[in-house]
Amino acid sequence: MKLIRFGQPGSEKPGLLLADGSRLDASAFGEDYTESFFQNNGLARLATWLAQNQDTAPRIPGDVRLGPPVARPGKIICIGLNYSDHAAESNMALPAEPIIFFKATSSLVGPNDDLVIPKNSEKTDWEVELAVIIGQKASYVSEDEALQYVAGYALHNDYSERAFQLERGGQWVKGKSCDTFAPLGPVLATPDEIADLNNLRLWLKVNGETKQDGNSGNLIFKIPFIISYLSQFMTLLPGDVISTGTPAGVGLGFKPPQYLKPGDVIELGIDGLGESRQEAKAYQPA
């Protein structure tokens, strides 16, 4: 299945993207895609509901906004420098263990919502990433069993403000957590929708020009290892998002560096997980 959420920010409803490309309104299922949904066998119950209601449930018009495909995740956990080519362009050594940081959950937005360049920002950057959504509580899990804890996968743009991240005390979370810095989706694709987790193309364009073109097979730390590793230090909860790193081609890596400005259009995608599009806007006080 491919789960979507639709509607205005803060009032999204559950839906599904069907194989024919139509979008089905799953409001009658009666649950949003929350921690409780995943914890209580929600995916299996949703599949049963879909089989019984696919022909009669209303369709969602194509112009309706999509929200992030998971509601209110407890954590957004990110892995840094997880592609060797990205580490090289950042002039950083390959990590011996995964580099872990968090994005504030308040940075989460829909896949096609505007990117707001933060107040006083000069170095807002892009990062296409493969995200993992946890499906059940995970603590001290083994690498062999790690994928049993996955609800699905999604496209994520891990926006970063490099001056906030690297030039103000080395606190990465400051450069990662600005509002709109975590567009997720359009879909949460369940594992059966992914043919080969280790062979997914990731790409990103700015104003039509390809900047990133990578493959998940080049992850330094593979997804089962990442899940197992994180579970040694914290309990992973249903709905938690793990963003697994970005390939080469971020703005920081160009000579001279390239950063986003108002009016820029960012498009990105991953095989089987769809595409998203953000337009950069200047910060305006409320």
pLDDT in tens, 93-103: 888 999 999 99
The answer to whether the pTM exceeds 0.75 is yes
User: What residue ranges define each of the domains in the chain, with the CATH number in brackets?
Assistant: 2-53 (no CATH), 70-282 (3.90.850.10)
DSSP state of 46: H
Return d(Cα 282, Cα 20) in angstroms, integer. Answer: 37
pLDDT band at 269 (very low <50, low <70, confident <90, very high): very high
pLDDT tens digit sequence for 129-143:
999 999 999 999 999
Residue with tokens 């699905």: 152
pLDDT tens digit sequence for 232-257:
999 999 999 999 999 999 999 999 99
Q: Is the pLDDT of residue 168 over 90?
A: no
Residue with tokens 């979507």: 4
Amino acid letter for position 192: D
pLDDT band at 207 (very low <50, low <70, confident <90, very high): very high
Mean pLDDT of 78-100: 87
DSSP state of 81: S
CB 25 within 8 A of CB 60: yes
